[in-house]
Structure 1
Amino acid sequence: MDRLTLGSVEISRLVYGMWRLGDDPDTSPAHVQAKVEACLAQGITTMDQADIYGGYVAEAIFGAALRAAPTLRDQIEIVTKCDIVAPAGRHSAARVKHYDTSAAHITASVEASLRDMATDRIDLLLIHRPDPLMDHHETGRALDGLVTSGKVRAVGVSNFRPWDFSLLQSAMTSPLVTNQIELSLNCRAPFTNGDLAFLQERAIPPMAWSPLAGGHLRAEAGDGLSARLDAIARDAGTDWTAVAVAWLLHHPARVIPVLGTNTLSRIASIADALRVPMDRQTWFELYTLAQGHEVP
């Protein structure tokens, strides 16, 4: 599998997302280990987490698996995120859901993530959401300090618009190496609103969350798009989900899809997307069907 370099971290082109790790009826270390090993068998080495996932429990579930099988840690890269404070788990006393990009909160979140995931380093830390109260100097210093300390190898953001990205980067010495944004056949705005162009101009690979629209892409797609996805999938000997991911992979911005599922058979087929042929006209055919009209 192709790999991409984000600052000082090299990651797999496809990433396994652990957003719903806590939703699986089986959260045992052995079952989580089986998921990671199914990824590794395909060359998928990068695991995507966030402190808030599962109501602040997903990182600990993952950590239990790493404690049970410590050799896994050196075979993977861990991405995690912070700054969302919701009234749940360790933040149950919060009066209102909010964002916190203060140095104290970022540092505490990283320490909790390191502890919960039984690791001494986070390979890539992302600020999860733009904070309208962000002091970019304070946040930037905190992120730079974590990189200098070695607790975090690289830093980036998630769901930032170009101006949010530039503001934070202006107060930092460490580069912001990615922006994880929603991107799929259902969420096409970044292709034309400047979000992708901003990153592409700077040679910053974007990560794409919900590349299958949270599992609802097919349900929300029109009959024409569904039929074409199926036809391409049949020709490639796979299913429509691989085609939807291949559509993202074809973009020259070097999109990194983050795919989450708790089903082992689905995990084992994530890399099918890499063998789906995609050319310019096929890409625009799917784009047109998703829009419901041809391009101007």
Structure 2
Amino acid sequence: MDRVTLTDTLSLSRIVYGMWRLSEDRDTSAGHVQAKVEACLEQGITSMDQADIYGGYEAEALLGAAFKAAPGLRDKCEIVTKCDIVAPAGRHADARVKHYDTSRAHVTQSVEDSLRLMAIDRIDLLLIHRPDPLMDHHETGRALDDLVASGKVGAVGVSNFRPWDWSLLQSAMQTPLVTNQIEISLNRLEPFTNGDLAFLQEKGVPPMAWSPLGGGSLMSGESDQKGLRPTLARVAKEQNVDIAAVAVAWLLAHPSKIMPVMGTNTLSRIATLGDALKVEMDRQAWFELYTHALGHEVP
């Protein structure tokens, strides 16, 4: 499995396993979660993507139970998690309204909660989950710097930030932001033209891509783009992989080193996540899919 270097001490597997659906599985036992992690590790997928809010603030604890049940498993993984979304659920059930909180107190407490729930002593990569319109960038920046200095967090980044949100936060920090996890797929093309990817590429910052299969619509055929699914199916047949592998390979072909975050609870699907790296995607094949996704020829 290819790897993407983020810092001198941190690299992630090119494909990341997303755990946002972990609590939705019928079997949430420690053994079953362990089996998912091990199915990833067998392919060289070592990076696990979490967030405090996933599963109504339950998903981190499910991963922690697996780590407790299988000593040594955590040492084979890089742990990514996120904070700042406060929703009326779980430990925030008393919140009057869903909101964002990038205050020092909240970010610091979120890290302590994540460490405890996942039964780990260090978060490899912490992301601010959503831009906060009330963010005091000096306060948030100092909190992130201090968490890295403490050793509780290895590196920091953001998620769903626009370039100006990134620049604002980074301006108040000593620690470099190392990634932005944004929605990118054949169903979400805007980052290719609205400056989001160009901004990161200019800075040499590899992006992470959430919902790389368009929330499953590319697999189910619900996508609106005429001709896209038949083209995905044709390429998949030619290269002896499934449609998902082609859609992910399309992202992998971009020079910004996109890291797709793949979420599934099915062990058989997890076992094929690495197939995307087998797909050959030349420039014309890339633009053929892009054209169908756009719904028209490029200008």
> What residue number does 2:263 align with?
260
2:280 counterpart of 1:277: yes
Within-5 A mapping of 1:160-199 = 160-199=161-200
- 1: distance between equivalents of 2:83 and 2:58? 13
Any gaps of 5 or more consecutive residues in structure 2? none
| Matched residue type, 2:123 | I
C-alpha displacement of 1:223:
4.3
Which aligned runs of 4 or more in structure 1 are off by greater than 6 angstroms? none
In 1: Cα distance, 2:224 partner to 2:51 partner: 29
Q: Give the counterpart of 1:246 among 245, 249, 256.
A: 249
SS at match of 2:72: helix
One-letter identity of the residue aligned with 2:117: D
SS of residue paired to 1:4: strand
Match of 2:103 in 1: 102
Report SS of the residue matched to 2:124.
strand
Cα deviation for residue 214 of structure 1 reads: 1.2
Q: Give the percent of matched residue pairs that are identical in Structure 1 and Structure 2.
A: 74
2:240 — aligned with what?
Answer: 237
SS in 2 for 1:185: coil
Who is 1:225 aligned against?
228
Matched letter for residue 275 of structure 2 = D
String of CA shifts for 1:166-224, please: whole Å, max 9, x gaps.
Answer: 00000000000000000000000000000000000000000000000111223114341
Tell me the SS of whatever aligns to 2:5.
strand
Q: How does the TM-score come out when normalised to structure 1?
A: 0.99
Q: Secondary structure at the match of 2:73?
A: helix
Tell me the distance in 1 between the aligned counterparts of 2:244 and 2:112: 36
Counterpart of 1:5 in structure 2 is: 5
The whole-number CA distance in structure 1 between the counterparts of 2:191 and 2:177 is: 19
Q: Which amino acid aligns with 2:247?
A: A
Pairs aligned (count) = 296
Within 2, Cα distance between the matches of 1:222 and 1:290?
6
Query: How far apart are the structure 2 equivalents of 1:106 and 1:90?
Result: 15
**Separation in 1 of the partners of 2:249 and 2:258?**
10
Q: Distance in 2 between matches of 1:221 and 1:70?
A: 46
Deviations 1:130-179 (A, max 9, x none): 00000000000000000000000000000000000000000000000000
Deviation at 1:10, TM superposition (A): 1.0
Unaligned runs of at least 5 residues, structure 1 = none
Distance 2:89 2:229 in 1: 38
Q: TM-score by structure 2 length? A: 0.98
